[in-house]
Amino acid sequence: MRVRIFTLLIFVLNSYFGFAQQKFETALEHLLQQPEYKNASVGIHIQDLESGETLFELNSNKLLIPASTMKLISSASALEMLGADYRFKTKLGYIGETEKNNVLNGDLIIIGGADPTLGSEHFMGHYFNPHFLQVWAQKIKSANIQQIIGDLILDTSIYDSEKVPATWIWEDIGNYYGAAANAFTVYDNLFRIAFNSPRKIGKATKITSMYPKIEGLEIINEVVSADNYSDLAYVFGSPFDKKRVIRGTIPRNRKAFTIKAAIHQPEELLAEEFLKYLANEGVFISGEIKFEKINKKAFQTVYIQESPTLAEIVKVLNYESVNLFAEHLVKQIAFEKIGVGNRQSGIELIEEFWKSKGISTEYLFMEDGSGLSHFNAVSPAFFTAVLNFMTKRSTNKKTFLNSLPGAGEGTLKRFDKELFPENTLKAKSGSMTRVRCYAGYLDVDSGAKVAFSIMFNNFSGSHSKLADEIEKLLHNF
């Protein structure tokens, strides 16, 4: 009797998937005949998670630019290789001798732990109640140190000297999403610039404020007013200097219209701000700010600042698509495994990990953790293999699944919750110029769960239209 019921169930599921596949194929064929997509490169892979059967594929091994769906790979890798409970640690202390009159004859030290969340707006409760720099200053004062006859030294040796990945493009690296991993990432490595724009179109705008203030920063403002409602202003500048040119448009007749730009020397900002908080607590340093590797054997710890857990970080990373967090994870994997945070080493370790799990990396060309590089290339089938692993073989299954937004949430906010109720869709989106991708999990009407990857490269239409079309495709399955 049980055999007959099981056989009947298999027949029903196969009938359902056959019907769903037919609907999907018809809708896809209609979509690909439209002028915007007829010359596009398209790859799709849909896999039943229970049986591992491929339910639909189109160019499933074709290497395509993934954009931010790359974050699925970096976040899954970090959870597996570092653990969901992993925390970044920034160490505060000194080298030298303390005297009875609250004088330190030596140097005040901060050892960078490459915490991507330090002072992050995504973790306000963790760092701003009270302000983390106030806590640090109070810890120094509580250690009976009020005068330091020496320097403030920041040890940045946890990561290599690379400012940004070599394959990031010029128009990205000055903007907030082009902020790169740093031993002393702080405030999401971004600053805000406020503009006033005139009523007339095409007229010069005026910068009214910047926060936080970056010492020595030179800004050339070429932004003009326009009859639109979007931020189309872009920040240009090398990560090796403090000159920025801002070009483009912002809406006309606005007060304090704000854009965000990348900070590429966050360690300098952190040091300068920390000195101010120390002074507020009556602690003063006679020397200079220096950035150098210290003798850790002589280091005496006063306080260790811990980040939120990796599980918490990964949820923000995938919900909000935070490039900076993803870049940190790649370098942190390298630091934990070989002792130095190097992007290329991190990528090689990630590739070795997936190979060890039986997933061929022949279909993975990884240049960064975030997907910002146009040199990244991944196949749809590689994505579904990783998604399958994280569901069926990983102890981090729940954490990984919870990190993905559902319809109407995070980067899937555009998708209709009524079409995908109760998290029947959990996925990561990815987009850049002429690239739109989605990968994740879908619960279908039969009760089965599938892993999917849908990748469009070099289409000529609008992103919003293609997103709506992909939503229809997923709903049809």
Boundaries of every domain in the chain? 23-85+311-476, 89-160+265-308, 170-262
User: Cα–Cα distances in Å, from 47 out to 15, 27, 52, 169, 298?
Assistant: 16, 18, 6, 34, 55
Q: Does domain 23-85+311-476 sit in CATH 3.40.710.10?
A: yes
CA distances from 201 to 246, 250, 267, 329 (A): 18, 10, 39, 43
List the chain residues with pLDDT less than 50.
2-3, 5-13, 15-16
DSSP-derived pairing of the beta strands 284-285 and 147-148: parallel
434-426-78-395 Cα dihedral, nearest 10 degrees: -150
Taking the C-alpha atoms of residue 210 and residue 219, their distance in angstroms, rounded to an integer, is 11
pLDDT of residue 100: 87
Reported as a single tens digit per residue, the pLDDT across 334-351 is 999 999 999 999 999 999
Distance CA 441, CA 47 (A): 10
Specify the pLDDT at position 447.
84
Residue 252 · residue 277 · CB < 8 Å: no
pTM for this entry: 0.95
Task: Report the pLDDT value the prediction gives residue 19, as an integer from 0 to 100.
Answer: 63
Per the CATH hierarchy, to which homologous superfamily does domain 89-160+265-308 belong? D-Ala-D-Ala carboxypeptidase C, peptidase S13 (3.50.80.20)
CB proximity list for 171: less than 8 A, separation 6 or greater: 234, 236
pLDDT digits (tens, 9 = 90+) for 118-157: 999 999 999 999 999 999 999 999 999 999 999 999 999 9
pLDDT of 14: 53
Largest CA distance in the chain: 87
Question: 244 in helix, strand or coil?
Answer: strand
pLDDT for the residue 18: 65
Q: By C-alpha distance, which of 17, 280, 322, 338 is closest to 137?
A: 280
